[in-house]
Amino acid sequence: DAGITQSPRYKITETGRQVTLMCHQTWSHSYMFWYRQDLGHGLRLIYYSAAADITDKGEVPDGYVVSRSKTENFPLTLESATRSQTSVYFCASTLAGGPEQYFGPGTRLTVT
């Protein structure tokens, strides 16, 4: 769906560098989420946001920072990337009160 996009789609970075993954949705969904997907671990929630300027930690928040100054954008920053953060990252959004989640296409991040 063009309604939720992620950039970049692929990223290779070095250990210790800062990297920001972008997520943009055009539906004006209130809730947005960041997941990481690793083999054997399914989808693990990193951070989520209920609205602009409201964010909260998920299951695996360490090493990540988020912000949400506008409803449509929810960037995820790795302040000092580590090899363990090599993963596929999915952004998702949902209507207020609606638990069905709409996923972005994902960003494959490799930390060397």
Partner 1 sequence: GENVEQHPSTLSVQEGDSAVIKCTYSDSASNYFPWYKQELGKRPQLIIDIRSNVGEKKDQRIAVTLNKTAKHFSLHITETQPEDSAVYFCAASNGNAGKSTFGDGTTLTVKP
Please identify, using beta-carbon distances, which residue of 20 and 30 lies nearer to partner 1: 30
- Least distance to partner 1, CB of residue 58, Å: 8
- Least distance to partner 1, CB of residue 86, Å: 17
Please identify, using beta-carbon distances, which residue of 53 and 56 lies nearer to partner 1: 56
Name which of 98, 100, 103 is nearest 88 in CA terms.
Answer: 103
Please identify, using beta-carbon distances, which residue of 56 and 79 lies nearer to partner 1: 56
- Least distance to partner 1, CB of residue 18, Å: 26
Q: Where along the sequence are the contacts to partner 1 (CB under 8 A)?
A: 30-31, 33, 40-45, 48, 50, 56, 58, 90, 94-101, 103-106
Query: What is the rounded CA–CA span in Å between residue 25 and residue 104?
Result: 9
Number of other CB atoms surrounding residue 34 within 10 Å: 27
Please identify, using beta-carbon distances, which residue of 40 and 69 lies nearer to partner 1: 40
Per DSSP (E only), the strands in 1-112 are 4-7, 10-13, 19-25, 31-38, 42-51, 54-57, 64-66, 76-78, 87-94, 102-103, 107-111
